[in-house]
Structure 1
Amino acid sequence: MGLTSGSTGIKAVDMGLVVKKQTEDDKVIALAGNPNVGKSTVFNALTGMNQHTGNWPGKTVTNAQGYCTYNDRHFVMVDIPGCYSLMAHSAEEEVARDFVCFGNPDAVVVVCDATCLERNMNLVLQTVEITPNVVVCVNLMDEAERKGIRLDLDQVAQRLGVPVIPAAARSGKGLDELMQAVCDRLDEEEKGETIQIRYIRPIEDAIATLQPAVETVCGETVNARWLALKLLDYDASLIHALNESLGFDVTGDALVQEKLEEAKQIMQSRGISLEELRDKIVSCIVLTAEDICNDVVHHERTKREIRDRKIDRILTSKWTGFPIMLLLLGIIFWLTITGANYPSQLLSDGLFWIQDRLMDLFVMMGAPVWLRSMLVEGVYRVLAWVVSVMLPPMAIFFPLFTLLEDLGYLPRVAFNLDKYFKKARACGKQALTMCMGFGCNAAGIVGCRIIDSPRERLIAMITNNFVPCNGRYPTLIAIITMFFIGTAGMGASFLSTLILTGVIVLGIVMTFLVSRLLSATILKGVPSSFTLELPPYRRPQIGKVIVRSIFDRTLFVLGRAAAVAAPAGLIIWVMANVFVGDASLLAHCAAFLDPFAQLIGLDGVILLAFILGFPANEIVVPIIIMAYMATGSLTDMSDLTQLHTLLVNNGWTWLTAVCTMLFSLMHWPCSTTCMTIKKETQSLKWTLISFAVPTGIGIIVCFLVASAARLFGLV
Structure 2
Amino acid sequence: MGLTIRSTGKGAADTELIIRKPSPDAKVAALAGNPNVGKSTVFNNLTGMNQHTGNWPGKTVTNAQGFCSTDKYSYVLVDIPGTYSLMAHSAEEEIARNFICFGGADEIIVVCDATCLERNLNLVLQTIEICDEVIVCVNLMDEAKRKHIAIDIEKLEHILGVPVVGAVAREKKSLDGLLLRMDEMADAQMNSRQPVKVHYPEEIEQAAELVLPAVKEILERNGRKRPAAKWLALKLLEGDTSLLEELNKATGTDICKEPAVSGALNEARRLLESRGVDPNTLKDKIVSTVVKQAEDIGRAVVQSKEQGYRGLDKKLDRILTSRRTGYPVMIALLAAILWLTITGANYPSQLLSQGLFWVQDKLMELFVHIGAPKWLTGMLIEGVYRVLAWVVSVMLPPMAIFFPLFTLLEDAGYLPRVAYNLDKPFKRCCACGKQALSMCMGFGCNAAGIVGCRIIDSPRERLIAMLTNNFVPCNGRFPTLIALITMFFIGTKSAAGSSVIAALMLTAAIVLGVVMTFVVSGILSRTLLKGVPSSFTLELPPYRRPQIGKVIVRSIFDRTLFVLGRAVVVAAPAGLVIWFLANVDAGGVSLLAHLSDFLDPFARLLGLDGVILLAFILGFPANEIVVPIMIMAYMAQGSLLELDSLSEMHRLFVDNGWTWVTAVCTMLFSLMHWPCSTTLLTIRKETGGLKWTAAAFLIPTVTGMLLCFLVSRAALLLG
2:275 and 2:58 map into 1 onto residues whose CA distance is: 41
Of 268-277 and 193-202, more deviation after overlay is shown by 268-277
2:341 paired with 1:336: yes
What is the correspondence of 1:635-714 to structure 2 with a 5 Å cutoff?
635-710=641-716, 712-714=717-719
2:264 and 2:609 map into 1 onto residues whose CA distance is: 73
Contact 1:132 1:191 in 2 (8 A): no
Structure 2, gaps ≥5 residues long? 7-14
Cα gap change, 1:674/1:273 in structure 2, threshold over 3 Å: closer, same or farther? Answer: farther
Which residue is equivalent to 1:10? none
2:448 paired with 1:443: yes
2:596 paired with 1:593: no
- CA shift for structure 1 position 509: 1.2
Which residue is equivalent to 2:217? 216
Which residue is equivalent to 2:551? 545
SS in 1 for 2:110: strand
Cα gap change, 1:518/1:266 in structure 2, threshold over 3 Å: closer, same or farther? Answer: farther
- CA shift for structure 1 position 399: 0.6
Of 204-213 and 429-438, more deviation after overlay is shown by 204-213
- CA shift for structure 1 position 265: 4.8
- CA shift for structure 1 position 376: 2.0
1:587 and 1:54 map into 2 onto residues whose CA distance is: 46
Cα gap change, 1:60/1:352 in structure 2, threshold over 3 Å: closer, same or farther? Answer: farther
Contact 2:114 2:141 in 1 (8 A): yes
Cα gap change, 1:580/1:187 in structure 2, threshold over 3 Å: closer, same or farther? Answer: same
What is the correspondence of 1:32-47 to structure 2 with a 5 Å cutoff?
32-47=32-47
Cα gap change, 1:104/1:5 in structure 2, threshold over 3 Å: closer, same or farther? Answer: farther
- CA shift for structure 1 position 274: 3.8
Cα gap change, 1:633/1:260 in structure 2, threshold over 3 Å: closer, same or farther? Answer: farther
Residue 380 (structure 1) aligned to one of 370, 374, 385? 385
SS in 1 for 2:718: coil
* Bigger relative contact order (CA 8 A; separation at least 6): 2
Contact 1:206 1:263 in 2 (8 A): yes
Contact 1:151 1:296 in 2 (8 A): yes
- CA shift for structure 1 position 394: 0.6
Cα gap change, 1:666/1:235 in structure 2, threshold over 3 Å: closer, same or farther? Answer: farther
What is the correspondence of 1:179-194 to structure 2 with a 5 Å cutoff?
179-188=179-188, 190-194=191-195
Contact 1:561 1:616 in 2 (8 A): yes
Which residue is equivalent to 1:423? 428
- CA shift for structure 1 position 521: 2.2
2:30 and 2:417 map into 1 onto residues whose CA distance is: 31
Cα gap change, 1:389/1:168 in structure 2, threshold over 3 Å: closer, same or farther? Answer: same
Residue 636 (structure 2) aligned to one of 630, 633, 637? 630
Cα gap change, 1:234/1:693 in structure 2, threshold over 3 Å: closer, same or farther? Answer: farther
Which residue is equivalent to 2:26? 26
Which residue is equivalent to 2:11? none
- CA shift for structure 1 position 236: 4.2
Residue 542 (structure 2) aligned to one of 528, 536, 542? 536
Q: Which amino acid aligns with 1:212?
A: P
2:78 paired with 1:78: yes
Q: Which amino acid aligns with 1:289?
A: A
- CA shift for structure 1 position 174: 4.3
Contact 1:599 1:703 in 2 (8 A): yes
Among all aligned residue pairs of Structure 1 and Structure 2, give the percentage whose two residues are the same amino acid.
66
RMSD over aligned Cα, in angstroms?
A: 2.5
Contact 1:30 1:80 in 2 (8 A): yes
| CA offsets 1:74-94 (integer angstroms, 9 cap, x no match) | 222222211111223333333
Contact 1:146 1:302 in 2 (8 A): no
2:280 and 2:606 map into 1 onto residues whose CA distance is: 53
Which residue is equivalent to 1:60? 60
Of 591-600 and 115-124, more deviation after overlay is shown by 591-600
2:662 and 2:261 map into 1 onto residues whose CA distance is: 71
Residue 489 (structure 2) aligned to one of 477, 484, 493? 484
2:351 and 2:61 map into 1 onto residues whose CA distance is: 37
Q: Which amino acid aligns with 2:583?
A: N
Which residue is equivalent to 1:9? none
1:699 and 1:200 map into 2 onto residues whose CA distance is: 63
Residue 243 (structure 2) aligned to one of 238, 253, 266? 238
SS in 2 for 1:150: strand
2:251 paired with 1:250: no
Q: Which amino acid aligns with 1:66?
A: G
Which residue is equivalent to 2:9? none
- CA shift for structure 1 position 661: 0.7
Cα gap change, 1:684/1:280 in structure 2, threshold over 3 Å: closer, same or farther? Answer: farther
2:312 and 2:230 map into 1 onto residues whose CA distance is: 47
TM-score calculated relative to the size of structure 1: 0.92
- CA shift for structure 1 position 632: 1.5
2:258 and 2:596 map into 1 onto residues whose CA distance is: 68
Q: Which amino acid aligns with 1:154?
A: E
- CA shift for structure 1 position 257: 4.4
SS in 1 for 2:372: coil
Of 312-321 and 390-399, more deviation after overlay is shown by 312-321
Of 316-325 and 160-169, more deviation after overlay is shown by 316-325
Which residue is equivalent to 1:455? 460
Contact 1:601 1:655 in 2 (8 A): yes
Cα gap change, 1:292/1:514 in structure 2, threshold over 3 Å: closer, same or farther? Answer: same
- CA shift for structure 1 position 16: 2.8
- CA shift for structure 1 position 201: 4.4
Of 271-280 and 156-165, more deviation after overlay is shown by 271-280
2:469 paired with 1:464: yes
| CA offsets 1:244-269 (integer angstroms, 9 cap, x no match) | 33344434545444544554454455
Q: Which amino acid aligns with 1:147?
A: K
Cα gap change, 1:463/1:301 in structure 2, threshold over 3 Å: closer, same or farther? Answer: farther
2:695 and 2:671 map into 1 onto residues whose CA distance is: 17
Of 587-596 and 377-386, more deviation after overlay is shown by 587-596
Which residue is equivalent to 2:575? 569
2:360 paired with 1:355: yes
- CA shift for structure 1 position 658: 1.0
1:629 and 1:370 map into 2 onto residues whose CA distance is: 20
2:115 paired with 1:109: no
Q: Which amino acid aligns with 2:83?
A: C
Which residue is equivalent to 1:286? 291
Cα gap change, 1:523/1:206 in structure 2, threshold over 3 Å: closer, same or farther? Answer: farther
Cα gap change, 1:502/1:303 in structure 2, threshold over 3 Å: closer, same or farther? Answer: same
Contact 1:165 1:174 in 2 (8 A): no
SS in 2 for 1:534: coil
Cα gap change, 1:213/1:497 in structure 2, threshold over 3 Å: closer, same or farther? Answer: same
1:593 and 1:281 map into 2 onto residues whose CA distance is: 66
- CA shift for structure 1 position 36: 0.6
2:710 and 2:281 map into 1 onto residues whose CA distance is: 51
Q: Which amino acid aligns with 2:697?
A: F
SS in 1 for 2:18: strand
Contact 1:90 1:453 in 2 (8 A): no
Which residue is equivalent to 1:399? 404
Cα gap change, 1:574/1:90 in structure 2, threshold over 3 Å: closer, same or farther? Answer: farther
1:463 and 1:218 map into 2 onto residues whose CA distance is: 48
2:427 and 2:32 map into 1 onto residues whose CA distance is: 30
- CA shift for structure 1 position 57: 4.3
Cα gap change, 1:303/1:134 in structure 2, threshold over 3 Å: closer, same or farther? Answer: same
Of 325-334 and 351-360, more deviation after overlay is shown by 351-360
SS in 1 for 2:443: helix
Contact 1:67 1:75 in 2 (8 A): yes
Cα gap change, 1:355/1:132 in structure 2, threshold over 3 Å: closer, same or farther? Answer: same
Of 184-193 and 563-572, more deviation after overlay is shown by 184-193
2:164 paired with 1:164: yes
2:234 and 2:690 map into 1 onto residues whose CA distance is: 39
Contact 1:5 1:52 in 2 (8 A): no
SS in 2 for 1:19: coil
1:144 and 1:181 map into 2 onto residues whose CA distance is: 22
Of 218-227 and 664-673, more deviation after overlay is shown by 218-227
Contact 2:72 2:183 in 1 (8 A): no
